């Protein structure tokens, strides 16, 4: 019989080789194409990071200008796609809408579904990066019963997204530059994270030759789960459930109780067993945004700060190397900006789209690419004969 290595959860198996993102979980290091995430989040901006992830090098100013122009040319979605949105219940989760609408893109953009044509691959990549904020904002607007806001191409990527979410016909929303910067940082810090569950899903789906829109829809579906992208929503809901600083010990005790399934959402990471380098930058951004919006006394933030402190001093968390992750702080920022928790994961999805596409592109362009076909350890019945129904 064949012999297989058994590695549930892929804790020690590399599924591919990749030159995009490097993580050293023990040391808290995250590099994109060799550049540390804190430098990219501090000095660069999201569309430049998109270029870096997609093409491997930082762009010259002419290359960046051309790339940004190409992205803004594709920000609108086909007008008929509005019917997809309106076909959903108003109270549908925006992630459910995004899975559907992004999957439906393969029915609208036939000229960029041939994965063997490099030009079509390029157009599909640009379309996805350009349209994802529009789709996420439309999912939000539909959910709250407001008219869709069309993109504006004279705005930067983050400001355009904020405007599409918060403008109404009666009043144009003009984002404060600090908020646009914080939004851009959230996008940048989520842009890629090597072979996480959703990226591995995109790779596995694409390995069969499926079109890029269908594969990204699969990635969005995977990201939705609370152990992955859904964690930012779950983290904020957890802070709200705790509600006040005096209840923190009770919740820490619940998290430690082996007979209780409760986990402190926003703590722990499969790969970072020291600290999450993205969380450091996100914490700074959270402070900036809260200063600006004058919500220093926000009870949720007070709970977050105290919870962070108590958990970091607790033997249980220290022993298991459970540190606040990026979602712990991003949830606080998004809440302060006025997003409902249901929009947190769609924002993660739009940020991660470039990572999914870069990994997809790398895989398709690799001549040694094979269909992903994991094996299993069979634990079922041994060979037996069929028994007619009347004899059972």
169 vs 258, beta carbon nearer ligand CMC: 258
CB neighbourhood size of 248 (10 A): 19
Q: How far is the CB of 2 from ligand CMC (least distance, A)?
A: 28
From the list 14-22, 161-169, 224-232, 296-304, the region that binds ligand CMC by CB under 6 A is 224-232
If binding is defined by CB under 6 A, does position 327 make contact with ligand CMC? yes
71 vs 264, beta carbon nearer ligand CMC: 264
185 vs 228, beta carbon nearer ligand CMC: 228
Residues 156, 192, 276, 327: which is the catalytic one?
Answer: 327
Q: How far is the CB of 273 from ligand CMC (least distance, A)?
A: 8
If binding is defined by CB under 6 A, does position 248 make contact with ligand CMC? no
The footprint of ligand CMC on this chain (CB under 6 A) covers a number of residues equal to: 20
If binding is defined by CB under 6 A, does position 342 make contact with ligand CMC? no
From the list 86-94, 120-128, 287-295, 319-327, the region that binds ligand CMC by CB under 6 A is 319-327
25 vs 299, beta carbon nearer ligand CMC: 25
Q: How far apart are CA 181 and CA 45, in angstroms?
A: 8
Minimal CB distance to ligand CMC: which residue?
A: 268
From the list 176-184, 225-233, 300-308, 361-369, the region that binds ligand CMC by CB under 6 A is 225-233
Question: How many Cα atoms are found within 13 Å in the side-chain-facing hemisphere of 264?
Answer: 30
C-alpha distances in Å from residue 266, one per residue of 15, 36, 94, 366: 26, 22, 21, 36
If binding is defined by CB under 6 A, does position 228 make contact with ligand CMC? yes
Q: How far is the CB of 222 from ligand CMC (least distance, A)?
A: 10
Q: Which helix H or strand E contains 289, and what residues bound it?
A: helix 277-293
Sign of the dihedral through C-alpha 267, 270, 271, 273: positive
Both structure tokens of 25: 């979980």
Q: How far is the CB of 197 from ligand CMC (least distance, A)?
A: 7
If binding is defined by CB under 6 A, does position 353 make contact with ligand CMC? no
Q: Are 117 and 107 in contact (CB under 8 A)?
A: no
If binding is defined by CB under 6 A, does position 231 make contact with ligand CMC? yes
Strands annotated E in the chain: 21-24, 29-32, 35-36
From the list 102-110, 258-266, 295-303, 331-339, the region that binds ligand CMC by CB under 6 A is 258-266
Both structure tokens of 341: 């928790």
Figure out which of the listed residues 320, 338, 365, 374 binds ligand CMC, where binding follows CB under 6 A. 320
Q: How far apart are CA 159 and CA 167, in angstroms?
A: 11
Instruction: State the Cα torsion 218-366-350-267 to the nearest 10°.
Output: 80
> Can you say how many angstroms the Cα of residue 263 is from the centroid of all Cα atoms in its chain?
21
Residues 24, 269, 366, 388: which is the catalytic one?
Answer: 269
Figure out which of the listed residues 144, 227, 253, 318 binds ligand CMC, where binding follows CB under 6 A. 227
Instruction: Provide the H-helix boundaries in 224-276.
Output: 231-242, 248-256
Q: How far apart are CA 159 and CA 162, in angstroms?
A: 5
134 vs 196, beta carbon nearer ligand CMC: 196
Residues 262-301 that bind ligand CMC (CB under 6 A): 263-270
CA angle, 77 then 81 then 83, to 5°: 145
If binding is defined by CB under 6 A, does position 325 make contact with ligand CMC? yes
93 vs 193, beta carbon nearer ligand CMC: 193
Q: Are 334 and 304 in contact (CB under 8 A)?
A: no
**C-alpha closest to that of 273 among 11, 6, 36, 4:** 11
If binding is defined by CB under 6 A, does position 238 make contact with ligand CMC? no
Burial class (CB in 10 A: 0-12, 13-18, 19+), 173: middle
Q: Tell me if residue 388 is catalytic.
A: no
Q: How far is the CB of 72 from ligand CMC (least distance, A)?
A: 29
CB neighbourhood size of 198 (10 A): 25
Q: Tell me if residue 327 is catalytic.
A: yes
From the list 90-98, 114-122, 169-177, 317-325, the region that binds ligand CMC by CB under 6 A is 317-325
Residues that bind ligand CMC (CB under 6 A): 193, 196, 227-229, 231, 235, 255, 263-270, 320, 322, 325, 327
> Catalytic residue positions?
269, 327
């Amino acid at each position: 019989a064949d012999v297989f290595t058994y590695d549930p959860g892929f804790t020690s198996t590399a599924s591919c080789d990749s030159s995009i993102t490097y993580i050293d979980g023990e040391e808290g290091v995250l590099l994109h194409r060799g550049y540390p995430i804190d430098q990219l989040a501090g000095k660069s901006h999201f569309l430049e990071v998109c270029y870096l992830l997609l093409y491997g090098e930082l762009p010259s100013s002419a290359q960046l200008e051309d790339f940004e122009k190409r992205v803004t040319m594709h920000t609108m979605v086909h007008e008929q796609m509005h019917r997809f949105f309106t076909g959903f219940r108003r109270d549908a989760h925006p992630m459910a809408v995004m899975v559907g609408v992004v999957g439906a893109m393969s029915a609208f953009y036939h000229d960029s579904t041939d994965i063997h044509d490099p030009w079509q691959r390029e157009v599909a990549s640009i379309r996805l990066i350009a349209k994802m904020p529009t789709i996420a904002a439309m999912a939000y607007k539909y959910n709250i019963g407001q008219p869709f806001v069309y993109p504006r191409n004279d705005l930067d990527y983050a400001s355009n997204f904020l405007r599409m979410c918060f403008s109404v016909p009666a009043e144009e929303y003009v984002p404060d530059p600090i908020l646009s910067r914080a939004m851009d940082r959230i996008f940048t810090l989520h842009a890629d994270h090597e072979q996480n569950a959703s990226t591995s899903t995109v790779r596995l789906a694409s390995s069969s030759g499926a079109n890029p829109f269908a594969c990204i829809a699969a990635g969005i579906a995977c990201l939705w789960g609370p152990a992955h992208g859904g964690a930012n929503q779950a983290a904020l809901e957890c802070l709200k459930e705790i509600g006040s600083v005096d209840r923190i010990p009770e919740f820490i005790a619940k998290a430690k109780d082996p007979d209780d399934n409760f986990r402190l959402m926003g703590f722990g990471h499969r790969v970072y067993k020291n600290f999450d380098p993205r969380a450091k930058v996100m914490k700074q951004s959270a402070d900036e945004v809260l200063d600006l919006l004058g919500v220093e006394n926000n009870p949720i933030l007070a709970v977050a700060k105290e919870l962070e402190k108590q958990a970091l001093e607790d033997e249980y968390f220290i022993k298991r190397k459970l540190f606040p992750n990026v979602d712990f702080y991003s949830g606080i920022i998004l809440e302060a900006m006025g997003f409902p928790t249901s929009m947190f994961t769609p924002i993660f999805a739009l940020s991660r789209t470039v990572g999914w596409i870069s990994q997809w592109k790398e895989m398709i362009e690799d001549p040694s690419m094979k269909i992903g076909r994991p094996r299993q350890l069979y634990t079922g019945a041994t060979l037996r004969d069929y028994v007619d129904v009347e004899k059972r």
